[in-house]
């Protein structure tokens, strides 16, 4: 009887091990260079806290000027974008103090800030994640500037953004956990809320740095759907190398269940796009349908995630790297190989999983 139970336990462990090996191998197979010699210690500057401290002085002009001295032109950028709203340059000074007083006394904005203060009382883990991912970024792209990182209250508008070339902004209110009550009332779609946790800060930060240095986040006008998918796939591939320990689900922004469905349905996804004659047409609405976020993809099973084209694009780029012997550096992949070249050499025709 005991021997039978032991055999059952071994069988269960073997099944669990085999079922998880694909995801593990995809992570373990990524290059993970030694970056210990890159000296970097990212500090998350709490612009949001400093801003709300202005309320204690009723937005005294000397305190406002102290903020401006500390954060440079970013202070004016933030006030223009998040407090007053976009206006012509130089057309905010006469309304700045009143606008700040109104903003900092707003009950809803204060509710958000209180949640940020509670959830981000300690940011050591966030700083460590950003430090590690930026070290990898610096390793692959040594000429790139390492940005200063500031946390802001974005009023539920943006999770990460770049300002000029040397500042990375983090909308801390976008990472208060999926069950945060105000996300529904703020109009945040349910299918996005699984990503609204602090573990996504480094991932989203790396994505906006990619957009700044290597390509717009806009959809690819003048390209076929499959070329646009490869463009997105290059971004996902980049993310997998500056975040080598992140699972594919986080890289693409899916749940693990959605990622598993894609892995199991890769052949069917490709066949669907071929049968619908979608891949080689330049159709902006098709790009939005398959490369934008969404709850699912029209015409596909309900389990299919929006932005499924990015996942296929990642598989195409991985196949390209495999076909070229993994001899192309990340730097050269992003800067020297366009989508048409990658498609031609990848010869992507899934009959089973690439890995």
Residue-wise pLDDT tens digits, 27-86: 556 779 999 999 999 999 999 999 999 999 999 999 999 999 999 999 999 999 999 876
HSE, side-chain direction, 13 A CA sphere, residue 82: 22
Instruction: Say what the pLDDT of residue 222 is.
Output: 83
Helix (H, G, I), strand (E, B) or coil at 221: coil
What predicted TM-score, i.e. pTM, was given to this entire model? 0.89
At 288, list the tokens: 């939005």
Quote the CA–CA distance of 282 and 122 in Å, as a whole number.
47
**Neighbour order of strands in the sheet with 148-152:** 44-46, 148-152, 167-171, 160-163
Nearest by Cα to 335 from 162, 167, 210, 239: 210
Q: What are phi and psi of 252, to 5 degrees?
A: -90, -20
Bridge partners (DSSP) of residue 151 are: 46, 170
CA 350 from chain centre, in angstroms, equals 27
Quote the CA–CA distance of 47 and 238 in Å, as a whole number.
29
What is the percentage of the chain residues whose pLDDT exceeds 90? 82
Quote the CA–CA distance of 174 and 172 in Å, as a whole number.
5
Checking if the pLDDT of 2 tops 60, the result is no
pLDDT in tens, 199-233: 999 999 999 999 999 986 667 678 999 999 999 99
Helix (H, G, I), strand (E, B) or coil at 163: strand
Sign of CA pseudo-dihedral 112, 93, 97, 49: positive
Instruction: Say what the pLDDT of residue 21 is.
Output: 39
Quote the CA–CA distance of 223 and 211 in Å, as a whole number.
18
Q: What are phi and psi of 85, to 5 degrees?
A: 100, 155
CB 252 within 8 A of CB 312: no
CB 147 within 8 A of CB 209: yes
pLDDT in tens, 245-274: 999 999 999 999 999 999 999 999 999 999
At 95, list the tokens: 């309304």
pLDDT in tens, 153-176: 999 999 999 999 999 999 999 999
Instruction: Say what the pLDDT of residue 95 is.
Output: 84
Helix (H, G, I), strand (E, B) or coil at 149: strand
Helix (H, G, I), strand (E, B) or coil at 18: helix
Checking if the pLDDT of 87 tops 90, the result is no
User: Would you call 28 exposed, middle or buried from its count of C-beta atoms within 10 A (0-12, 13-18, 19+)?
Assistant: exposed
């Amino acid at each position: 009887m005991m021997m039978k139970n032991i055999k059952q336990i071994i069988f269960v462990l073997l099944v669990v091990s085999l079922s998880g090996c694909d995801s593990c191998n995809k992570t373990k197979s990524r290059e993970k260079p030694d970056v210990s010699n890159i000296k970097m210690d990212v500090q998350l500057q709490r612009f949001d806290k400093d801003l709300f401290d202005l309320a204690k002085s009723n937005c005294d002009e000397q305190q406002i000027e102290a903020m401006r001295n500390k954060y440079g032109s970013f202070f004016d950028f933030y006030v223009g974008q998040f407090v007053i709203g976009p206006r012509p340059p130089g057309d905010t000074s006469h309304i700045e103090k009143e606008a700040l007083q109104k903003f900092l006394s707003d009950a809803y904005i204060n509710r958000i800030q209180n949640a940020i203060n509670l959830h981000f009382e300690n940011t050591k883990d966030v700083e460590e994640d950003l430090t590690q991912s930026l070290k990898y970024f610096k390793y692959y792209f040594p000429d790139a500037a390492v940005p200063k990182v500031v946390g802001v209250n974005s009023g539920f508008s943006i999770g990460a953004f770049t300002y000029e070339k040397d500042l990375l902004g983090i909308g801390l209110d976008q990472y208060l956990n999926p069950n945060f009550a105000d996300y529904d009332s703020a109009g945040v779609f349910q299918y996005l809320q699984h990503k609204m946790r602090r573990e996504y800060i480094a991932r989203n930060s790396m994505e906006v740095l990619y957009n700044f240095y290597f390509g717009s986040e806009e959809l690819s006008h003048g390209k076929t759907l499959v070329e646009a998918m490869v463009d997105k796939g290059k971004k996902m591939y980049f993310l997998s190398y500056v975040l080598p320990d992140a699972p594919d689900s986080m890289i693409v922004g899916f749940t693990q269940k959605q990622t598993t469905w894609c892995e199991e349905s890769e052949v069917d996804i490709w066949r669907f796009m071929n049968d619908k004659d979608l891949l080689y047409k330049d159709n902006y609405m098709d790009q939005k349908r398959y490369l934008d976020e969404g709850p699912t993809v029209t015409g596909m099973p309900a389990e299919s995630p929006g932005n499924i084209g990015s996942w296929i694009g990642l598989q195409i780029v991985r196949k390209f790297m495999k076909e070229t012997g993994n001899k192309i550096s990340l730097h050269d992949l992003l800067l020297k190989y366009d989508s048409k070249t990658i498609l031609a050499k990848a010869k992507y025709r899934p009959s089973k999983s690439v890995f």
